[in-house]
Structure 1
């Protein structure tokens, strides 16, 4: 509070509005096996050395520590780690239930499910992760292909289908946590051999990829594809993806594909793929799906209270006004395409989307269309606000 000395008894008070906290993206939850720490309890990490402080030294046969290290090496800044009991579906589900309430994460990784003895167990756990992401509607799964041949990876891909996940192959050769320095500096990221005798360890790529997502989001926005980035902290791949392998995993006749990691002469080891696991052409690309997931997170944060207001013209006007302002900001950033805002998006919330039966049910329905790739080619979704939150239907 500021006083005015010229007018006794009069006080001037400056009221500053609190800025809305930034909606962070590229924030994963890692689920896996650890040496110590509470089970099924999300732990926030902002630096790689914090992993050992909370979970002890990485287990010799666990991939969790490698995933978290790879995340920070590749540009990640914030993640949650959840220690699960074992690499089984029931233990995984307990971990997924633990991260369900977190509204700060938008990625899910579970590298240690690749330790399951049966392929069917791996597929079932990966499906559980995809179902978790679908149910929550605010997060995306980064899944690991099996450390197998191209035909077997192709078979794995065919068993998975979701708009909220992507599959990456092959595995990575990285310095062992038993020999590498704490920050993994012995790995160069460009495929060159590290100096000295460095023990290599083959690991699933999800943690490194999550770091790439975080780096790409900061550099270009969630609406840009997290591809063509060099993988840091990686010395080699478990196998070389040839042009034939790449074509088999990404058939032109198929709507889904496997995002390959490729060692390119003179260019390092790079992410070479941008596809989701969806057969729906509208949701083929990771950047498009993550843009819509981010939009849904923004709506859930900023318009969660509309379900408790009278479903009438004043509310419809507020929804259209706030969504239009948000989409105009996306348009200015280049997240949605068009020469004018009208070519890039539309918002519709009126008596047509909210007939009497909808109003009587206590819901508020808004129809939105965004053009993430081509002007006027809208992907249209319906937002249904209810007492339990916001549901999105296509």
Structure 2
């Protein structure tokens, strides 16, 4: 907009003037990050998926020995919207375990002339087929050689066709043509003077791809921020709000990790969330623990104290499509989906508890009231089966020792408010540091918090009881302004869950009830 001093000639001028506070857009609250093992896909690279089909196209489907694909499926089944997936493991651990097949000469049956090998290691190569079809006769022009054929490489909807290739040396050589393939590589491993062409038709399927890395170490999970690998690599993602490592318990059970390794990985999850202050970790426990053992595991062996971490127990029984029967799963994937569903239907201020675990058939172990009395103060959120109500999340606490950060929804509400204000006030950087700027910031933040109060996220019958925003000469003395600082104080009163609902019922004598 031109200033008045820049107007030089007579005339009528129209100027657009910004009015009212600059709106602050609320950030996303339920974008999960899953770190672990998959059947296929790139290693140590965060890939965003928004549905199960996208996941399978990049990382393959369910695979025996890996919980991450099931966790992602449970996340979407329970209302999850978007997730990042980071595949960990060493390429060297399954190098050479690529799916393979052989193309055989039609002249000397059983004599392998070409070896077909999947480009990527892993079970994803098992979905590849290679078909030999007749040559393509052109409508005009030079006819292809008699021994020419068409090679078709297919993995799902991904199809590659190499038309009119031959086994002879030259520009049309099949090995040279397939060198451009993203799916397979071709190697001539045997030949015969009379075996100059492949069969006119036929199809082979690649097999033998490695389903899982040979071994995944704590270092694979921890990763490196520079390489954007593992948990540390999540630091480059600003929209993640939930962190899960669903394969950790299985690695511990199989002996790949000891208790110290288990603790190191979960400690890294918590440290990452505490450093970012915009996300929380959902921790799993090992399978097979009873109520007393899980209490000891959480309070003594792991001994975490953080408002940015929460743990749910016991494991839940769900249907395993791969095995064709029900089996136990760690609950972190389903809980991440429940958090997302709760945010969509009620809001981040509502505790993600008293929510049904969709897809759950049973729990690993039923709880008594006395056992639950011991677990709840320790921050262990129970998953319980109630007759007529299904499998329900029956806890909403963090692992914080500080009572003001006891509840998951309180910590997540502050994460949401802080991230939204941080992103929504970037316009103020390098603005003239005067009273006008202070008032504009106050109005913007105040309008955002007013909306939260109206949505029921803040406690109080009036806005003044629910929040305050202060940005004036008191928070910005002259020496601070000269140093380039603007300080804004914000206070909010979060709503806390009604965790204990108590009815006091007394018996009155007959005819003694009196309305007051």
TM-score range, shorter chain: 0.7 to 0.9
Is 1:331 aligned to residue 453 of structure 2? yes
What is the 5 A alignment of 1:234-253?
234-251=360-377
Shift of 1:310: 4.2
Shift of 1:358: 4.0
Counterpart Cα distance in 1 of 2:374 and 2:26: 41
Deviations 1:330-355 (A, max 9, x none): 01111101111000001122233334
Shift of 1:219: 0.7
Shift of 1:305: 4.2
Which of 284, 287, 290 is the matching residue for 1:149?
290
Compared CA separation, residues 351 and 55, structure 1 to 2 (3 A): same
8 Å CA contact 2:25–2:424 kept in 1: the answer is no
Q: Give the equivalent residue in structure 2 for 1:105.
A: 240
Please state whether the residue corresponding to 2:404 is helix, strand or coil. helix
Which of 289, 292, 311 is the matching residue for 1:167?
311
Q: Give the equivalent residue in structure 1 for 2:275.
A: 135
Q: With structure 2 as the length reference, what TM-score do the two structures score?
A: 0.62
8 Å CA contact 1:66–1:177 kept in 2: the answer is no
Counterpart Cα distance in 1 of 2:37 and 2:351: 30
Counterpart Cα distance in 1 of 2:88 and 2:478: 48
Compared CA separation, residues 361 and 66, structure 1 to 2 (3 A): farther
Which of 61, 85, 93 is the matching residue for 2:222?
93
8 Å CA contact 2:45–2:87 kept in 1: the answer is yes
Counterpart Cα distance in 2 of 1:144 and 1:263: 19
Shift of 1:361: 4.8
What is the 5 A alignment of 1:307-322?
307-322=429-444
Deviations 1:235-281 (A, max 9, x none): 11121122222112124xxxx41110001111110000010111111
Compared CA separation, residues 201 and 358, structure 1 to 2 (3 A): farther
What is the 5 A alignment of 1:1-394?
23-85=27-89, 87-94=216-223, 95-114=230-249, 115-116=251-252, 117-147=257-287, 148-158=289-299, 159-179=303-323, 198-251=324-377, 256-356=378-478, 358-359=480-481, 361-373=483-495
Q: Give the equivalent residue in structure 2 for 1:182.
A: none
8 Å CA contact 1:33–1:59 kept in 2: the answer is no
8 Å CA contact 1:123–1:156 kept in 2: the answer is no
Counterpart Cα distance in 1 of 2:417 and 2:330: 30
Deviations 1:259-315 (A, max 9, x none): 100011111100000101111111111111111100111012111343433443233
Please say which of residues 268-277 and 357-366 is displaced more in the overlay: 357-366
Counterpart Cα distance in 1 of 2:488 and 2:218: 37
Deviations 1:92-129 (A, max 9, x none): 22222322222222111111122232122212211111
8 Å CA contact 1:30–1:110 kept in 2: the answer is yes
Counterpart Cα distance in 1 of 2:468 and 2:408: 22
Please state whether the residue corresponding to 1:330 is helix, strand or coil. helix
Please say which of residues 20-29 and 210-219 is displaced more in the overlay: 20-29
Structure 2 gaps of 5+ residues are 1-22, 90-214, 224-229, 497-516
Compared CA separation, residues 357 and 246, structure 1 to 2 (3 A): farther
Counterpart Cα distance in 1 of 2:411 and 2:376: 19
Larger Rg: 2
Please state whether the residue corresponding to 1:103 is helix, strand or coil. coil
Shift of 1:357: 5.1
Counterpart Cα distance in 1 of 2:76 and 2:294: 27
Counterpart Cα distance in 1 of 2:219 and 2:277: 22
Please say which of residues 118-127 and 288-297 is displaced more in the overlay: 118-127
Please say which of residues 74-83 and 88-97 is displaced more in the overlay: 88-97
Please say which of residues 81-90 and 237-246 is displaced more in the overlay: 81-90
Please state whether the residue corresponding to 2:271 is helix, strand or coil. helix
8 Å CA contact 2:24–2:421 kept in 1: the answer is no
Counterpart Cα distance in 2 of 1:34 and 1:363: 47
Counterpart Cα distance in 1 of 2:425 and 2:234: 23
> If each structure's helix is expressed as a fraction of its own residues, which one has the higher value?
1
